[in-house]
Amino acid sequence: MRLAFLGLIMMSACTLAPGLRGDEGMWLFNDLPVKHLSERYGFEPTPEWAEHLMKSSVRFNVGGSASFVSSNGLVLTNHHVASDTLQKLSSEENNYLKDGFLAKSQADELKAPDLELNQLVAIQDVTERVNAAVSDDMTTEQAVAARRAVISEIEKEYLDATGFRSDVVTLYGGARYHLYQYKKYTDVRLVWAPESAIAFFGGDADNFEYPRFCLDACLFRVYENDKPAQIEHFLKWAEEGAKGGELVFVSGNPGRTSRIFTVAALQFQRDVRMPFILNLLRRREIALQQFGLRGTEQARRAQDDLFGIQNSRKAYLGMLGGLQDPAVMSAKAESEKALREQIALDPNLSKYSDAFGKIEETQRMRAELLSQTVNFNSQLVGIAQRLVQMAAEDQKPSTERLAEYADAGRESLLQQLFSSAPIYADLEQFLLADALSHIVELRGGNDPWVAKVLMGKSPIDRAAELIAGTKLIDVETRKSVSEGGQAAIDSSEDTMIQFALLIDEEVRRVRKANEEVAEIEKQSYAKITEANFATLGTSVYPDATFTLRLSFGPVMGYEQEGEWVEPFTHIGGTYEREASRGGQKDFVLPDSWKEAKDRMNLEIPFNFVCTADIIGGNSGSPVVNTDGELVGLIFDGNIQSLTADYLYTDRQTRAVSVNSSAILEALRVVYDAQHIVNELGK
């Protein structure tokens, strides 16, 4: 699917039934389903096996997963996880996203402008401490503030004590809070990327489909003190790759699932939110296409965003398709009914009974808030907002600030804010005009806040004025405003700074309203989770939270429209598919592959599928065998996997990987990169 993640939310009541659905589950590394694995597959992961895999796993904070694959800091991920960085490193002269890149030596490796990679080193439960800060007699507003304060306090305390990035993660929709500690890498350099024509062979047409033929792989290297970082835990490379039928594991960071959602919440997703999001995605997709029609350079500037939008659009369409199937929704309704009946019958559970009604209420609030969006789809507006809010927030104690301005996260915040990645004024202006127009549509042209935002101008003219009058494209300007604090903000004549000030009150109001809805839902889902624990037992996994999870299942084909789909494709099939599509866009191989054809071993398995339960955010996850060796690289799910957001079954749902042996073959034969091959797994 190009599994860089999207932004939805997790564990259905039925998930919790003592019998899980086959290979279902995105398991916490501190609560692995050891018994389940042992019973189902006769394999019992040892603590050492798990720790090695956990510490070999890497999170890309732009929204993806990865793994260490050498002692010298090589990191393997997907081309499409790297694409944001490839785009940022590219220019009109050097289009690394399209044409690929290979560093002939370490000196040639290209430093990413703003990547942060995280290696998880420790997890601990802090639920009691978080919950102790929030009491039943608090208003929602007070509860939001108290929870934010205690979380920011814990994060700061652990950061100061250990130096590790410390994040408190909300699990089970609010029933548990765990502290995740990460070693952070911010000097990340590009080593190798293939051409997008082979990384994303088949393009939008084949995205989320199978069989596939994609070299969706990319290598970075992490540095410390300007030297390759020395890595203790990295994955051994299985030269032969995955084998049919074998049990494999996926260690990655699934972004969000919604399996705990109540029927009311799913109906809101089906009838309100997903249609809204899809309209917005289609709007942006067309806008980016239109911008790209202006010329080849404009097309290049828009390309990576366009990929991302198309990927999301296809993913949401699949999710919505599942929710619009009456059979899916009635299965959800039945399991919810069963739980609510159990709660009604058991006096010990009566304290949980109001949760469903509260969530039904919050859906109405969410529907109202949707049309009050304050999203301007502009990097420059975002930068100005950061600067304006940071100056104001920094005048408060860390625990009282908006979460992202707390002390613990400052380093990551500044890395983003001062990124040297190019910002294109023409593209910014085009997208901002469209976003302003969207806001007029949502609130109506007579709305007083709309009038305030437009200042008597059309969206197109207003966007032009805002872009023309800002210097925030320049990183030094951002730094100087940031250093100047509130005084620099107050005296700034930059149009974007003034715009961020103009909208700040409304932005904060909408955010606060959204946070209060989320708090009510946290309290309610916590109750539903406790009711589930009480009635169904505790060996369950929480919904995905863009934190490290373990999934598993065999390498196995599936039936689709009456036909059996084999688990493996082969390198030779790539050339056949190109020929059969007669030169259609996205089905044309790069010259490097055409030239290498005669030298390639066409029999090598290229992509494969397994039953592991994954979702957006898992992109780039290593696939390992029971020996903990790297056999594949997750890059997609099939079309049937798209309902996995709220429902997993292993009948047809499959995760799609690049086979580790195909990556080796391409590096050797197509890219003449023996020096990298020599380093892998060593």
User: By the criterion CB under 8 A, which residues form the site for a copy of itself?
Assistant: 203-205, 267, 270-271, 275, 278-279, 282-283, 285-286, 290, 293-296, 299, 313, 320-321, 323-327, 329, 437, 440-441, 444-446, 451, 454, 456-461, 581-582, 584-586
Q: Which of 407/447 has CB closer to a copy of itself?
A: 447
Paired tokens of 522: 């946290």
**Residue 278 and residue 218: Cα distance in Å, rounded?**
30
Backbone angles phi, psi at 538, to 5 degrees: -110, 0
**Residue 379 and residue 375: Cα distance in Å, rounded?**
11
Q: What is the DSSP string of 371-430?
A: TT------HHHHHHHHHHHHHHHTTS-GGGS-GGGSGGGHHHHHHHHT------HHHHHH
Burial 245-274 (b: 16+ CB within 10 A, else e): eebbbbbbbbbbbbbbbbbbbbbbbbeebb
Task: Return all residues near 3 (Cβ < 8 A) that are at least 6 apart.
Answer: 64, 78, 614, 615, 616, 617, 618, 619, 620, 634, 635, 636, 637
Paired tokens of 90: 């590219």
CB-side neighbour CA atoms (13 Å) of 528: 35
Is residue 480 within 8 A of residue 489, CB to CB? The reply is: no
Paired tokens of 9: 């939310």
**Residue 308 and residue 461: Cα distance in Å, rounded?**
28
- Residue entry with tokens 């780039």: 620
Helix (H) and strand (E) counts in the chain? 24, 21
Nearest to 569 by CA among 474, 466, 638, 478: 638
Is residue 413 within 8 A of residue 404, CB to CB? The reply is: yes
User: What region, left, alpha or beta, does residue 483 occupy, with left being phi > 0 and alpha being psi -120 to 50 degrees?
Assistant: alpha
User: What region, left, alpha or beta, does residue 323 occupy, with left being phi > 0 and alpha being psi -120 to 50 degrees?
Assistant: alpha
CB atoms within 10 A of CB 560: 15
Measure Cα distances from 671 to 102, 395, 606 in Å: 8, 53, 16
Q: Where are the beta strands (DSSP E) in 230-331?
A: 247-252
Is residue 614 within 8 A of residue 1, CB to CB? The reply is: no
